[in-house]
Amino acid sequence: MAQNTLTRAKTGWYLLGPAFVAAIAYVDPGNVAANASSGAQFGYLLLWVIVTANLMAGLVQYLSAKLGLVTGRSLPEAVGERMNRPARLAYWVQAELVAMATDLAEVVGGAIALRILFGLPLLVGGLVTGVVSLLLLAIRDRRGQRLFEQLITGLLLLIAIGFTASFFVATPPPGAVLGGLVPRFDGTESVLLAAAILGATVMPHAVYLHSGLARDRHGHPDAGPPRRWLLRVTRWDVALAMMVAGGVNAAMLLVAALNMQGRGGTGSIEGAYAAVRDTVSPLIAVFFAIGLLVSGLASASVGAYAGAMIMQGLLYRSVPMLARRLVTLTPAMLILAWGFDPTRALVLSQVVLSFGIPFALFPLVLLTSNRAVMGADTNHRLTTAVGWAVALMISLLNVILVYLTVGG
């Protein structure tokens, strides 16, 4: 009995991984921009948004992985099967716009990091980020998903070190941190940043991707004990990955609140780097820049992977990765060439992502609560209720955002 338990535990650890790939989406450069801007402008005020968004993301990612395991379909495939051609094309267009907004965040963030570390022009840095992301995907194609998962998990740990290193020098006051857990806003800009944090955390492409990751890694197990065991492992996978991602996101905001609030010029990522360099230490600032660079490189590869899965599931065709990469890279390269404020572009890209969330969440909750689709693994009524509440809450925040932005 003890030996059997030990064997299952070892097997469980081996099966972890898909959620850590999806979690890269939650610590991308868009998160850095949104969290750093929030901390610099409002201190600890929006910490509660990060915690809430992370809890939402954990539920959403588990439902996505469960859909893939139970049905043997990715979310785009499951949605596409239930639509006629015009509806599929329309749905794909919005998903493709979300993919472009995702690429914008990853590529611009990587370009900023390369300029900080090596003085490269933003346009050159963007190209380097795009090329490296393709190389990471080539490793997956040639060496398999398991090695890709291990590589991405290692990069996630580097990101965590990069953004939490400053806590070895100074830590935020506990009272202020607890105060940041009280839900409240402070004007239109705080709502805009809350939507950006939400869009950077509950990311549509990660929702689409996780269903395919779980399916590709674990297959389509038969109903019964084997499937229940995999679903249990998946819950641990999601919980651990979201703990890491949530901790990194909270650390970004706390570092900004501690070192950047009240300082001039901290509205940009480069300003945040300068603030960390001047208030903490140059070495910690380098860690910050390395974390930003790794997040851009890793999340760009994961975003491209998700985009290919979305296209294949909705258009029923596989497009060469290079051609697809050129399409989604174009907006980011235009932004860099035009000279638009890169940090502002990052924050606005996360708002775009926030508007794409309902298109991923509503079908996901609908499918996983459908007994004809999920059989015995249909969502519990409470899970379905919470899922609908999450989707509606995010949609309501977007409506409020539009009203305050246009009305203001």
**pLDDT tens figures, 219-275:** 888 888 889 999 999 999 999 999 999 999 999 899 888 887 766 665 677 878 888
Residue 4 pLDDT > 50: no
Query: Worst-scoring range by mean pLDDT, 13-17, 65-69, 157-161, 183-187?
Result: 13-17
Q: 404: which 2 tokens?
A: 């305050």
Q: Which of 100, 91, 76, 57 is nearest to 393 (CA)?
A: 57
Treating both helix axes as pointing N-terminal to C-terminal, what angle do 282-315 and 269-279 enclose, rounded to 10 degrees?
A: 150
Residues whose CB falls within 8 Å of the CB of residue 88, separated by 6 or more in sequence, listed in order: 80, 314, 315
Rounded CA-CA distance 350/401 in Å is 13
Label residue 347 by pLDDT band (50, 70, 90). low
Residue 66 pLDDT > 80: yes
Q: What is the mean pLDDT of the chain?
A: 84
Residue 121 pLDDT > 90: yes
Measure Cα distances from 404 to 34, 276, 361, 377 in Å. Answer: 18, 32, 24, 41
Rounded CA-CA distance 132/291 in Å is 16
Side chain identity, residue 97: L
The model carries a pTM of 0.88
Side chain identity, residue 44: Y
How many other C-beta atoms lie within 10 A of the C-beta of residue 200? 31
The confidence score (pLDDT) of residue 315 equals 87
Residue 364 pLDDT > 90: yes
Label residue 5 by pLDDT band (50, 70, 90). very low
DSSP output for 82-140? TS-HHHHHHHHHHHHHHHHHHHHHHHHHHHHHHHHHH---HHHHHHHHHHHHHHHHHHH
pLDDT digit string, tens, across residues 17-56 = 788 888 888 888 878 878 888 888 899 999 999 999 899 9
Residue 155 pLDDT > 80: yes
User: Above pLDDT 70, what percent of the chain?
Assistant: 91
- Domains of the chain, with CATH numbers? 22-407 (1.20.1740.10)
Phi-psi bin for 171: left (phi > 0), alpha (psi -120 to 50), beta? beta
What would the mean pLDDT of 119-144 be, rounded to a whole number?
87
The confidence score (pLDDT) of residue 29 equals 82
pLDDT digit string, tens, across residues 371-396 = 999 999 999 999 999 999 988 887 77
| Phi–psi pair at 202, nearest 5 degrees | -85, 80
Q: Which residue has the higher pLDDT, 184 or 17?
A: 184
Q: Which residue has the higher pLDDT, 304 or 237?
A: 237
pLDDT digit string, tens, across residues 70-111 = 999 999 999 999 999 999 999 999 888 888 888 888 888 899
The confidence score (pLDDT) of residue 84 equals 92
Contact 41, 262 (CB under 8 A): no
Q: Which residue has the higher pLDDT, 322 or 291?
A: 291
The confidence score (pLDDT) of residue 69 equals 94
Q: Which residue has the higher pLDDT, 120 or 320?
A: 120
